[in-house]
Chains A and B, each alone.
Chain A
Amino acid sequence: MATENNYAYNSKIEGDLVVTKLDTAINWIRKHSVWPMPMGLACCAIELMAVGASRFDISRFGMEVMRFSPRQADCMIVSGTVTYKMAEVVRRIYDQMAEPKWVVAMGACASTGGMYRSYAVLQGVDRIVPVDVYISGCPPRPEALLDGMMKIQDKIEREPSVKNLMNRDMHKAPEKKCKPAPAHA
């Protein structure tokens, strides 16, 4: 009795090639392997930790590989109140992260200073690092963070990755300007 061997490559069955653009392929890979840098600074960080719990299952999005080393991370999640004293550290860690990198401002404090209208708190982390996604809430629920991370994925998907790679001067970080500090009235 002759049996057909379907285990090996069979051109009759799998003859089609998938044609895609390099951009799409790169973005697809990047999008599903976001390694976040948890920049936990205050209460929001607790919600960030909750995202790692089984009931939210961040692994479904391929983002569970939280790296506490900036060299291995490519998406900084700023979760908590950024004080001026800490701002320096946040920026330094951002600078040490590998390109390409993205920033999520999680919660009211990281996005705008939140309720801390005070002399000690940086009024929005976008003053020192370029933010890609802002998440509202005080604190945002873990679902909101997941939603924000999916927004980052959408954003990664639309990036002209090849162009960025080609244009990159290997010794210079790409221009990604932060919003300049507004002159105070």
Chain B
Amino acid sequence: MESALVEEITKKFDGATPRESIDHPAVNIPVDLLLSVVEWLRDEKSFDLLMDVTAIDWSEDASPRFTGIYHLASTTKHEYIRLASNCEDDVEPELPTLSKLFPAANWHERETYDMLGIRYKGHPDLRRILMWDDYPYHPLRKEFPLAGIDTDLPAADVAEATGAKVIPAPMMGGPFHAPQTGAMSKREPRAADQSWNEAKPKPSTN
């Protein structure tokens, strides 16, 4: 999306390029410029609200594999901007932390770390936030199945007493989701194709 702001950023910061977007202005920023661009947007352009920190996993064989995404908003000018930064390392992705510029980045980055495994350099307390501490996977990565992967229960004593494990959830034609059309009363979450389950596998299409 064309925007004067994007033009200004690309002129001012060497290496920043406009990014294709169907909604709000977006820019690609090299990782080493990220902090200065965000600081400049905050101090000079009154982008005073960090709305979102997330990332994209482009797939296991893509390179760069991970792109950090930042959404900033201006509460005075009512504008949005999206920044995207590619992680240099595909195996151990890393980005600088924004938590010194925006305290809200703290838990956003913890969540992105938890779900996608991106480490934020300089983060004051980079712990998992949704999954338990020793969970060995990052569930939003492309290779992670929605049903989950066989793992041990977080509490060893409970696992011993009950024999319970973290096991892949039965999909049974799932994942479950609520249809977006039709009468409200018919929009209970359901599996789209209930003809198959784990015992009776999905017929192959070819």
Contact = CB atoms under 8 A, between A and B. Distances in A.
Interface of A: 84-85, 87-88, 91-92, 113, 115-123, 127-129, 138, 178, 180-182, 184-185
B32 to A, nearest CB: 35
A169 to B, nearest CB: 17
Nearest to B197: A185
B49 interface: no
Contacts of A85: 130-132, 154
21 contacts: A87-B164, A92-B158, A115-B189, A116-B169, A117-B169, A117-B172, A118-B147, A118-B169, A119-B139, A119-B144, A119-B146, A119-B166, A119-B168, A123-B169, A127-B162, A127-B164, A128-B162, A178-B163, A181-B165, A182-B167, A185-B199
Interface residues of B, number: 35
Given A118-B147, A119-B145, A178-B163, 15 more contacts: A84-B132, A84-B153, A85-B130, A88-B154, A91-B161, A116-B176, A117-B170, A117-B171, A118-B169, A120-B130, A123-B170, A180-B163, A181-B165, A184-B150, A184-B167
A120 B154 contact: no
Interface in B133-188: 137, 139, 144-150, 153-155, 158, 161-172, 174-176, 188
Interface of B: 130-132, 137, 139, 144-150, 153-155, 158, 161-172, 174-176, 188-189, 198-199
Contact of B162 (A91, A113, A119, A121): A91
Nearest to A95: B161
Nearest to B139: A119
B161 to A, nearest CB: 7
B146 A181 contact: no
B176 A115 contact: yes
A106 to B, nearest CB: 18
A181 B163 contact: yes
B104 to A, nearest CB: 23
